[in-house]
Structure formats: structure tokens, C-alpha cells
Amino acid sequence: MSVISAMPTHVMSCFRLPKRVTNKLSSAVSNFWWSNNGQTRGMHWLAWKKLSRHKNDGGLGFRVIEDFNTALLAKQLWRLIDYLDSLFARVFKGRYDRNSMPLDPIRSYSASYGWQSIVSAQPLVQKGLIRRVGSGTSVLVWDDPWIPASRPRPANGSGINFYPHLRVSELINSSTATWNLPLLNQLFDSTDVTLIMGIPSSHAARPDSLGWFFTKSGRYTVKSGYTVA
């Protein structure tokens, strides 16, 4: 239990651990598991890769340290996205991405290791990031992940795309606040038409927002991020 309880979760929430460190941590947990007395190295009857699988997949659910590190860092990145007015977000934005967003490519040539660690979780956050359609005025049909498929993605066209900068608001009938079905059938394949029709629309000019696809609340959690990773 001492090996497991010594997992540096606070450090992992702030910094990307080097590969050699994550390998040593995984080795220490594995040795502790197979050892007879917790002190000596025992026979490893199963590969670590199998032990770290989810229990539903035949494993024992041991954490993959590198993926858990990424999931923790993604929590910090999500805070920058979800709480734009927080002191944490304002400090980092003022220092590193004053004219961009946290999910944009890193631009600073003198970025701290902490900032580099946080933005290294961008690929994980991008996997579950979805644009929630309100008015649709800020959501690009062919570029933004707004289609609620098995993973969020842009829309798939049915043929030649004549509207490269089309926004979702242009797919909504402004007088009835309903989807323009004839236009949807013209632009998209049948699968996407069905998914789009399932997205609620309303007369209220709700702002578009960002959400995390893999939780009911739409907020990122370390548990859901680790599962995706």
C-alpha cells in the first residue's frame, strides 16, 4: 500500500513526468503486486499492459501512469477553458496566450515547463471537446466539433461543399427557430441529418459554448479523461 499511496498526484497535476519516472513508478507498483512480502521482486505472471486494462476487459484496473498524468493535466487545461475569468486563467492567458485560446498551438519560445506540461494535454481534451450549439453564430459547420457522434466532430458533407465558411446559425430557420430540413438534406449525409435534428433549438438567443462530451454534466473529469486516454 505504501507504493500506491506515494503516487505523486499533486505533482502530476502540474507537471508532465519524464518517461523514465513513469516507467519507474509503474515498475515499483508491478513489483509490489507480484512480491510475496512487498520487499522483494517476485515472478511477473502477467504483462503490465494486461494488468492495467479495465476490469471489464479482463485486467485488474491498475493505472497507466503516463495516461493518468495526462488526465490530471487535462483538468488544468479545462480550467483555463471553463473558467476564463479565474485568476489562474487570467495569469496564464496574460503570460502565454493573450491573443489566442488555450487549445491553440503553443506560441511562446520561453514557456515554463508548467505551461508546456498543461498544453501537452491538448490532444486528450480535443478528443472529447464539443461545441454546444446555442445561436450557432460562432460554430463553423465544417471545422468545429459540434456533431454529437460517438466522438464529437465536424459535419460530413453529402458532396461538393459550396459553403466553406458556413456557420450553424445559417442552418436554422430564424422565424421558427427550427432546423432547415431541406437545406440539411441538401448539404449533409443522412446520418448527420438525423444527428443534427436531435440537437435542440430554441427562440432564445443562447450563446454557443464548449462542453466535454463524455460526462452528463458537460464538464471534464479526471476519471472520464483517463478512460478516454
Q: Spell out the residues 6+ positions from residue 162 whose beta carbon is closer than 8 angstroms to its own.
A: none
> How far apart are alpha carbons 166 and 151 in whole angstroms?
21
> How far apart are alpha carbons 170 and 42 in whole angstroms?
64
Residue-wise pLDDT for 202-219, tens only, equals 767 788 999 999 999 999
Are the CB atoms for 107 and 116 separated by under 8 Å? no
Residue-wise pLDDT for 141-199, tens only, equals 999 999 999 999 999 988 766 688 999 999 999 888 899 999 999 999 999 999 999 99
The verdict on pTM exceeding 0.75 is yes
H-helix segments, the chain? 2-5, 9-14, 19-34, 48-51, 65-82, 87-96, 113-119, 122-128, 181-187, 190-197, 222-228
Q: Supply angle C-alpha 89, 121, 27, rounded to 5.
A: 130
Cell numbers representing residue 139 in the block: 460554430
Residue-wise pLDDT for 18-46, tens only, equals 999 888 887 777 776 666 655 556 565 55
